[in-house]
Chain A
Amino acid sequence: MILETQNLSKFFGGLRAVDDVSLSFEEESITAIIGPNGAGKTTFINLCTGLLKPNTGKIIFNGEDITHLPPHKRVLMGISRTFQISNIFPGLTVAQNIRIPLLSRGDKALSELEELMKVFEFEDIKDALASEISHGDQRLLEMAMAIATKPRILFLDEPTAGVNPAEKHRILEIVMRLKETEKLTIVIVEHDMDVVFKMAERIVVMNRGRILADGTPEEIKDDKAVREVYLKGVEI
């Protein structure tokens, strides 16, 4: 067990965005969190990574209570993420974008810059401004920045949103390769059912802040309640 939440809740006014969620993630597993809009998927990631503070509940990482740690400390412990909308440094070059997270691990880590450029196929665009590269490359750049902090668990919030099919394929391929080489635990929020059922070993379905179902792709496919609220009409 690398990360575990215990009765985690987050309220926005009267809205229970995340409501009493207890989940745990096995080391080197790949879990997809799905659910309709407003189900609390992104809020759950925001709580795990420290962007938001929970109202109640605990977050345990590697046996340590991290509920009240700020984001940068969690990153240094090995929790990294990407955002739903590309979250990069638009006015800096691709190489500079990756240099900043590398620096958090000290000057020695800078030697990994070359290698990351190769893995993400950025050699030709390393001096381009991040604002000027393609949308798919921006998504990959953000992923490269997350990997540069050498995470043990990586949260991906809709990594293929808004990219074309070719780029989508490239992104997924890189994610799967990284999972092996970096021995990553991956938690992915995704709307694309094609992606979800292809990648995930386990699927968690959320609805209105709560966990509706939790199981293997086969179990989820056949779950009546899930079909009712979410998979209605979706061809799997």
Chain B
Amino acid sequence: MSEGGAVETTVETIETVPTMEKSLIAVIAVIAASLLIPLTGNKYALYLSTKIWILILYAIAFNVLFGYSGLLSFGHALFFSGSAYTLAILVARLDYPLVVGFILGIAAATLFSAVVGTLSLRHREIHFAMVTLAFSMLFWGIVMKWRDVTGGEDGITGFPRGFSMFWFYYFTVLVVVICSYLMYRFVKSDIGLILEGIRENETRVQFSGHSTLKYRLYAMIVSGTFTGVAGVLWALLDRTVTPTIAHWTFSAIPVIVTLLGGPQSFIGPAVGTIVYVIIQDLITKYTLYWQFIFGVAIVAVVLFFRGGVVGIVERYLRGR
């Protein structure tokens, strides 16, 4: 990768033990505090926080591929909407139980990521991004046109959530925390180390006796599967699926929040998601041009703070 890439990585690797402990404490504190949200009785806050949790899972799953293996996918909406639509079709159209829809929805994302991975991972960088984008837009086209099954622009409604909003929030937090922990274990495993090696210097990994294609595919499947978990949660939250989540703009969300939060840190995408949703929500109240303001913020972070929000905080904590 470029020189810039090598410089960025040092941010994470020299993360000292005290800051790791500090960030673990901070993460636990945020999770604990967020458990109080449903008790406030504020329905809007409850809805918004559920949404944030789901998008956090989406962003962390995306970053397993981007931050740890250096592969920028611009087609993650395919795995997100693939699982959401599978659940909706199975439950609303074919009368399967919700649990079956939930599990098969995730399985669909696994399958899609394996297929797209197999067909796209021979390409690198911008070519990989374009191939993944093409696959996801192909799926978007099918969703829009195959009205009998997908409902076209109207999407699919008419399936239960299985929980009240109150309990669905806790269910979501539980699922997101478990999935994030599993992904953390994955990136810190020996497979994760080999993926970091691929990001650093792919040729050297090949000359270390590893099929890099195989490991890139592992990363793709793990990333796609957990994106699928976020997708089924999203379907249940609104009890609706619409083509919005299949569109390429939905693939851009994890890219943006990851750059915002910091791709070199595991929780960076989560921090970016919280900042993204809150800024979006706040600015929309005052101006219709929130996207413009947001764009300026993103450009500033990417140009001047490559470690993202987490990088800025870390630097501050080290007193630099």
Q: A91-B6, A129-B10 are in contact. Are A104 and B210 (CB under 8 A)?
A: yes
Contact B13 A129 (CB under 8 A): yes
Contact B13 A91 (CB under 8 A): yes
**How long is the Cα–Cα vector from A90 to B14 in the complex, in angstroms?**
12
Contact A80 B13 (CB under 8 A): no
**How long is the Cα–Cα vector from A90 to B9 in the complex, in angstroms?**
9
Q: Choose among A49, A100, A105, A146 the residue that contacts B205 (Cβ–Cβ < 8 A).
A: A100
Q: Which A residues between 81 and 104 are near B, CB-CB below 8 angstroms?
A: 81, 87-93, 96, 99-101, 103-104
Count contacts on B: residues with CB < 8 A to the other chain.
22
Closest to B3 in A: A90
Contact B208 A75 (CB under 8 A): yes
Contact A100 B193 (CB under 8 A): yes
Instruction: Tell me, yes or no, whether A24 is within 8 Å of chain B by CB.
Output: no
Contact B13 A72 (CB under 8 A): no
Instruction: Tell me, yes or no, whether B197 is within 8 Å of chain A by CB.
Output: yes
Instruction: Tell me, yes or no, whether A162 is within 8 Å of chain B by CB.
Output: no
Instruction: Tell me, yes or no, whether A51 is within 8 Å of chain B by CB.
Output: yes
Instruction: Tell me, yes or no, whether A149 is within 8 Å of chain B by CB.
Output: yes
Q: Choose among B10, B14, B193, B211 the residue that contacts A96 (Cβ–Cβ < 8 A).
A: B193
Instruction: Tell me, yes or no, whether B19 is within 8 Å of chain A by CB.
Output: no
Report chain B residues within 8 Å CB of A96: 193, 196
**How long is the Cα–Cα vector from A88 to B196 in the complex, in angstroms?**
12
Instruction: Tell me, yes or no, whether B209 is within 8 Å of chain A by CB.
Output: yes
Nearest-neighbour CB distance to chain A for B49, whole angstroms, equals 35
Instruction: Tell me, yes or no, whether B203 is within 8 Å of chain A by CB.
Output: yes
Contact A149 B209 (CB under 8 A): yes
Question: How does the 8 Å CB contact mask read for A142-159 relative to B, with 1 for contact and 0 for none?
Answer: 000110110000000000
Report chain A residues within 8 Å CB of B212: 72
**How long is the Cα–Cα vector from A75 to B197 in the complex, in angstroms?**
17
Nearest-neighbour CB distance to chain B for A176, whole angstroms, equals 23
Q: Which A residues between 60 and 75 are near B, CB-CB below 8 angstroms?
A: 70-72, 75
Instruction: Tell me, yes or no, whether A76 is within 8 Å of chain B by CB.
Output: yes
**How long is the Cα–Cα vector from A105 to B206 in the complex, in angstroms?**
13
Q: Choose among A87, A92, A99, A100 the residue that contacts B13 (Cβ–Cβ < 8 A).
A: A92
Q: A88-B201, A91-B6, A91-B13 are in contact. Are A72 and B210 (CB under 8 A)?
A: yes
Q: A72-B210, A92-B196 are in contact. Are A51 and B203 (CB under 8 A)?
A: yes
Question: How does the 8 Å CB contact mask read for A5-49 relative to B, with 1 for contact and 0 for none?
Answer: 000000000000000000000000000000000000000000001
Contact B13 A104 (CB under 8 A): no
Report chain B residues within 8 Å CB of A56: none
Secondary structure dominating the interface of B: helix
Contact A145 B206 (CB under 8 A): no
Report chain A residues within 8 Å CB of B124: none
Contact B200 A104 (CB under 8 A): no
Nearest-neighbour CB distance to chain A for B102, whole angstroms, equals 35
Report chain B residues within 8 Å CB of A129: 10, 13-14
**How long is the Cα–Cα vector from A106 to B264 in the complex, in angstroms?**
28
Report chain A residues within 8 Å CB of B196: 89, 91-92, 96
Closest to B13 in A: A91
Contact A131 B10 (CB under 8 A): yes
Contact B190 A103 (CB under 8 A): yes
Question: How does the 8 Å CB contact mask read for B13-31 relative to A, with 1 for contact and 0 for none?
Answer: 1100000000000000000
Report chain B residues within 8 Å CB of A107: 190
Q: A96-B193, A99-B190 are in contact. Are A89 and B200 (CB under 8 A)?
A: yes
Q: Which B residues between 31 and 70 are near A, CB-CB below 8 angstroms?
A: none
Q: Choose among B6, B193, B194, B207 the residue that contacts A87 (Cβ–Cβ < 8 A).
A: B207
Contact B207 A80 (CB under 8 A): yes
Instruction: Tell me, yes or no, whether B204 is within 8 Å of chain A by CB.
Output: yes
Q: Choose among A51, A80, A100 the residue that contacts B197 (Cβ–Cβ < 8 A).
A: A100
Q: A87-B204, A90-B6, A91-B13 are in contact. Are A72 and B211 (CB under 8 A)?
A: yes
Report chain B residues within 8 Å CB of A87: 201, 203-204, 207
Extra inter-chain contacts (20) besides given A100-B208, A129-B10, A131-B6, CB under 8 Å? A49-B207, A51-B203, A71-B207, A72-B209, A75-B206, A75-B208, A87-B201, A88-B204, A90-B6, A90-B9, A92-B193, A99-B193, A100-B194, A100-B204, A100-B210, A103-B193, A129-B14, A145-B208, A146-B207, A149-B209
Q: Can you list 21 A-B pairs, Cβ within 8 angstroms, ordered by A?
A: A70-B211, A71-B207, A75-B207, A75-B208, A87-B204, A89-B197, A89-B201, A90-B6, A91-B13, A91-B196, A91-B200, A92-B13, A92-B193, A92-B197, A96-B196, A100-B204, A100-B205, A129-B14, A131-B10, A149-B208, A149-B209
Residues of A in contact with B (beta carbons under 8 Å apart): 49, 51, 70-72, 75-76, 80-81, 87-93, 96, 99-101, 103-105, 107, 129, 131, 145-146, 148-149
